[in-house]
Each structure stands twice: as structure tokens, then as C-alpha cells.
Amino acid sequence: MAIGFDYGTANCSVAHIINGSVQQIPLVGDDCYISSTLCAPTAETVSEYLFRCLNIRPANEVGDAVLRRAIQMNRDEGIEVIPSDVLFGQQALDLYLEDPKDVYYIKSPKSFLGTIGLRDMQLSFFEDLVCAMMANVKHRAEARLQQDLTQTVIGRPVNFLGRGGDASNDQAEAILLRAANRAGFKDVAFQLEPVAAGLDYESTLSEDKNVLVVDIGGGTTDCSFIKMGPSWAGKLDRTGSLIAHTGQRVGGNDLDIYIAFRRLMSAFGMGTKRHSGLDIPVTQFWNPIAINDVQAQRKFYAHENMKELKMLLKEAKESDKVARLVKLHQDTLGYAVIREAEKAKIALGEADQYRVFIQLISEQVDVDITRSEMESAIDNPKQKIKALVEEAVKQAGIQPDVVFMTGGSARSSVLRQAVNDILPTTPLVAGNYFGSVTAGLARWADICFK
């Protein structure tokens, strides 16, 4: 059986076609979505877990080296890896929030794919993370359907990163392919996520239209200008229908990061000065919450950076606030801060004001945010998204008949208004914000693997 697999930055979901209709496959009880998170005692646990608990071997010599290193480090730490050591989705988040400093936690490893300049062993480790998540989703779906799943179409953004070009995209797609093969998928194809979302919308059309698909996901925003309708439905060769594509790594994660940076990090000392009058480097406040930047995370949580933070603590005028930054480092609380920023973003879609509660080990930090402050905080990523829409229309050379918006972050009234500002006379429509890509991937799988 062939499935569509949305390996998303925020969530993973899968679907298949039954009697011509899309059926999403529940993964956690009756829930069809599992958040793209993983938690384990250590990072090294993940590689050994694949080998020892799932019988999934490395794909190459570099992977073998990563596995050998992981096994040795786990032995040195006295860790005997068992299946329950690696958790996914809400279980992973719950364990992290319970004791952040004593676990390895990662959200959205898809955000790291395509990063240029990483060593082969780092890339191989990211492959292990993706493979573990894919294997978890595959096993859950197979348990629900009571049959093996060996064929899949996986969604991918137009561009995994805003820089790196084809080399970046090729690297990321190769990691996804190897991870999927190792997880047990024998036949794997890829489809652009905005095209997949468009295929689902196309199933509702009774006449041909020029459609601009704007897919604002957790990690990327992608725009595809596509000819759609009965003339194209069901065709394997869609080359003539694809008019223009734009995409960049800017999405829901970036909105959360900017809200945290602009509105929450002042509680951790951003804006305070040293007694000498010099500023504290702004990177000390950006790096801990830049969860989609592996280099930034490494720099902040490095052991040597703690020495720098303690020196800043002695020199800071508002040492009580900088002490929280030290605590953030000690307890690896960057993801917890981002989670509170995300909750604020969602709440301020309806409310005019929201109070954020950041729970440190020793105290609770409260910060009030208004809707206008939130909108101001996310102006940078909003402008990037507007630029992608404008570029797609420019490339197409024609105006769309309709704009189809999808992706979890497309629910934002701020972003919907931003798109409307560019195309004020074009109707904006939406389907299933979270499920359109998955449904379109399932439709494409049904065409590809007939």
C-alpha cells in the first residue's frame, strides 16, 4: 500500500487513498498528527536505539562510525539502551518539561536539513534522528492498518534553506531518502509540499484555474503558481501546469523565535548593560532560542560559553536578569521559552493581551504581551513571506484566479492580511490547514504507484 507522508517541521502525518477518497491514518489514539519531537537520555542513545531496538543498520561507513561512537559513549555513561528510552511527540515534550537538563530533546530536526558546512558525522546523526521519527510513524500507521507499508511519497519544501541552493536541497533530500529506506520504505518518491497541497485543492475544482498556493508551515514558506482543474487532475506528468515556485526557510518557528527574542528575552537581561556601559552581546539572547539554527544552539550551550555568561553576570547592571540567562543555559530551557512564545502567538490570534509564564527551576517569570506587540515582533518574517508571494506572482507573469493558503501558520490573521495586501482583489481560500499537504501527497502516491 502506498501512503503520503508529511514529515513536517511541526507535525508528522500520513494518509492513503481508499475508494478514491483520502483517509488520514490515526497515529496517537484518534489523533492523526504527532509532533516532530524526540527525547532520549542522550543524543547517542538515538543511534544505538535504531540498531539495537529496531534492527536498523547504518547506511554507510560514516553511519557505522557514528554508531560505534554512540555505543562506546553509552557504555561509558552506564546507559543500556532499551525501547522505552526514546520517546516521540507529546510524550517527548512532557519528559523534557519535567526535567530539561537531564534529557536530550530536539524539536523539528527537519529545520536542520540542508545546512551547509556540517561534518559528515553530524549529517549522519541527523539522518538517524529523521530515521527514528519516520520508523515510529511507519510502525504506528502499520499497527493501525494491520498491513505493511513499503511505498510512500514524502513532501519536501521548495527550498530547505534560504541559502545553499541546489546543493543544500540535494543534501536534505538525500538524507530523507536514506532515512526512509532504512525505516523500511522500499519505494520512495518526493513531491513539493505546496504542489501537494494544490493537488488536494484541485480535487474540489469543477473548472480550470490559475492557483497560487501559499504554504506557511512550521519551518518553511513555499509558494507554487499552478494551473489546476479537470484538465490536469490525475495526470502523472504535471510539468506544463507548474508555472512558478518560490520558497525559503521562514515559517511558524521563526514567528515563535522572533516573539521570544523581541518580547521575552528582556526578562533574561537583553537590553541591560555592563557597569562599564558596554552592551551585552545580543547573540547571547538570540542563540538559545534559535532552535532552527544548529550552529547557534551549539555556540550557546557550549561548555566554554558558560564561562562567558558567568563573567557577564558579574559585569551586568541587572544581574538578577542575567542570572536567569545562566539558568537557561544550565537547564537547557531554550525550547521551553519557545513553547511559551508559541502559546502566546496562538492566544493573541483571538485575544488582545496574553500573559506568558516561563517556569524556571527557581522562579516563575511572567511577561505580558499585547497583540500589537506580537505583530511588531514578527514583522521581519512577515516581510520575508510577503516577498515570496510577490516573487511567485512576478515569475508567473500573470495574476492568480485564487490564492489557496495552507499550513498551520497560515491560520494567522496577520499573515493572511499580509497576503491580501499584495493581492487585494484575489479571493483567498483555505482547506485543511494541517492536512492539505498530507492529503495531496496521498493523492500523488496513488498516481505514482498504481
Residues 55-87: pLDDT tens digits?
999 999 999 999 999 999 999 999 999 999 999
The CATH classification number of 2-193 equals 3.30.420.40
Q: Give the span between the Cα atoms of 302 and 324, in whole angstroms.
A: 17
Kindly report the backbone phi and psi dihedral angles of residue 24, in degrees, each rounded to the nearest multiple of 5, phi listed first: -75, 150
| Sequential DSSP letters for 20-52 | TEEEEPPSBTTBS-EESEEEESSHHHHHHHHHH
List, in sequence order, the alpha helices (H) in 184-228. Answer: 193-202
Across 253-279, average pLDDT: 96
Q: Which three cell numbers stand for residue 10?
A: 511541526
Taking the C-alpha atoms of 428, 434, 435 and 438 in order, what is their torsion angle to the nearest 10 degrees? Answer: 110
Please give the pLDDT value at position 163: 61
**Band of residue 162 on the pLDDT scale cut at 50, 70, 90:** low
E-only strand ranges, 270-383: 353-359, 364-370
The mean pLDDT value of the chain amounts to: 94
Identical fold for domains 2-193 and 207-250+379-430, yes or no, is: yes
Residues 6+ apart with CB under 8 A from 72: none
Question: Over the stretch 7-26, which tens digit does the pLDDT of each residue have?
Answer: 999 999 999 999 989 999 99
> What is the pLDDT at residue 226?
96
Calculate the CA dihedral of residues 343, 345, 351, 353 and round it to 10 degrees. 90
341: number of CA atoms within 13 Å, CB side? 28
For 183-209, what is the mean pLDDT? 96
Are the C-beta atoms of 238 and 444 separated by less than 8 Å?
no
The per-residue pLDDT for 98 is: 86
pLDDT at 165: 81
Say how far apart CA 443 and CA 450 lie, in whole Å: 11
Any idea how long the chain is?
450
Residue 337's Cβ-side half-sphere holds a number of Cα atoms within 13 Å equal to 31
Question: Is residue 153 scored above 70 in pLDDT?
Answer: yes
What is the Cα–Cα distance from 413 to 148, expressed in whole angstroms? 41
23-37: per-residue pLDDT in tens? 999 999 999 999 999
| Separation between Cα atoms, residue 419 and residue 439, nearest integer Å | 24
Whether 331 contacts 361, CB under 8 Å: yes
Average pLDDT over residues 164-172: 87
**Superfamily, domain 207-250+379-430:** ATPase, nucleotide binding domain (3.30.420.40)
The pLDDT of residue 211 is 97
Cβ neighbour number for residue 7 with a 10 Å cutoff: 25
Buried b (16+ CB within 10 A) or exposed e, 231-242: ebeeeeebeebe
Return phi, psi of residue 160, to 5°: -65, -35
Closest among 170, 172, 136, 176 to 14, alpha carbons compared:
136
Measured in whole angstroms, the distance separating CA 412 from the mean position of its chain's CA atoms is 17
The reported pLDDT for the residue numbered 115 is 85
Q: Where are the domains of the chain?
A: 2-193, 207-250+379-430, 253-377
What is the maximum span of the chain, computed from C-alpha positions, in angstroms? 72
What mean pLDDT is predicted for residues 183-193? 97
- What's the mean pLDDT in 222-239? 94
Please check whether residue 141 is in contact with residue 33, taking contact to mean a CB–CB distance below 8 angstroms.
no
The C-alpha atoms of residue 313 and residue 61 are separated, in whole angstroms, by 45
